[in-house]
Amino acid sequence: MVKDLSIQLFGLTLRNPVIAASGTFGFGTGFDFDVNAIGGIALKGTTAQPRGGNPCPRVADCTAGMLNAVGLENPGIDALVREKVPALREVYSGVVLANIGGFSAEEYAHCCEKADACEGIDIIELNISCPNVHAGGAVLGSDADATAAVVRAARKATRRKPLVVKLSPNVTDIAAIGQVCEREGADGLTVANTFLGMRIDLKTGKPVLSNTFGGFSGPAIFPLALRCVWQVSHACGIPVIGCGGVTRAQDVVEMQLAGAAAVQVGAANLRDPQACLTIINEL
């Protein structure tokens, strides 16, 4: 007997609570298996203009995880709505999340408006772990005022689709940032993005990554992400999507017990593209 794992999220029905996290599943196409088993797919982070990303090396191995400083390599918002989403919809009928990045409130609003008008997109997810070009490169999501400005602009530009904000854990009080997003009209929160880390090459004495620092992900961060989910879900009244270090069905259940309505699987997809399917079968 097939178990019913479906959930309701923002009025949408997901076949199960498992979502492939942004940046780890491309644009959902080109796989040699049926992706329709996955509850949701969060597309690769997208900015207003195409970006080539950071110079190599931009990925580094770590114990029980990895570092990445890819730098939001993407084809731009116009290519996303014109080419990537229609191509995905030819093979996938589940819930699609457009992950939107940017370097100013105006850029977020511009991208959100275009994503909001795209029929193939169900949810807009804001990546606020980007540097603010108007504030000397400080990360937008690390400052309450900057976060409020971005969410306010995105909310004004997003009238049809649920708006979810993906929080950075590299803050003093992630629950407080979540409350700011809720006050500015966010429908939900993804908790959390990667943790800031670095590696040093013992032969050269220099950082392994060309960008010096990168986002740390993988099973090592699961207890940290779980703590963030608990804190945010208990401080905010909007749905939380858990994310960080999930590699097995037990992790999904723990995230749900901590307060997550749905759970994203990230770095595990890079090790095994069918990780989401394995977890769903285990569930």
Instruction: Write out pLDDT tens, residues 3-43.
Output: 899 999 999 999 999 999 999 999 999 999 999 999 999 99
> pLDDT, tens digit, for every residue of 223-276?
999 999 999 999 999 999 999 999 999 999 999 999 999 999 999 999 999 999
DSSP character string of 191-251: E--PEEE--B-TTTSSBSSTTS-EEEESGGGHHHHHHHHHHHHHH-SS-EEEESS--SHHH
C-beta separation of 246 from 256 below 8 A:
no
Architecture of domain 7-282: Alpha-Beta Barrel (3.20)
**Is residue 258 within 8 Å of 244, Cβ to Cβ?**
no
Cα 38 to the center of its chain, rounded Å: 16
Distances (CA, A) of 84 to 21, 28, 87, 91, 108: 16, 9, 5, 12, 19
Q: What's the chain's average pLDDT?
A: 96
Which positions are catalytic? 130
Structural tokens at position 193: 């993005």
Residue 132 has pLDDT above 80, yes or no: no
Residue 214 and residue 72 in contact, taking contact as beta carbons nearer than 8 Å = no
Indicate the pLDDT class of residue 130, thresholds 50, 70 and 90.
confident
Adjacent-strand bridge partners of 20: 41, 265
Q: Please tell me whether residue 281 adopts helix, strand or coil conformation.
A: helix
Q: What share of the chain is helix, strand, coil (3-state, %, to 5)?
A: 35, 20, 45
Apex 99 CA angle, 94 and 100, nearest 5: 145
Domain limits, the chain: 7-282
Contacts of 185 (CB under 8 A, 6+ apart): 151, 152, 155, 163
Tell me: the pLDDT tens digits for 199-224?
A: 999 999 999 999 999 999 999 999 99
Mean pLDDT of the 86-104 span: 97
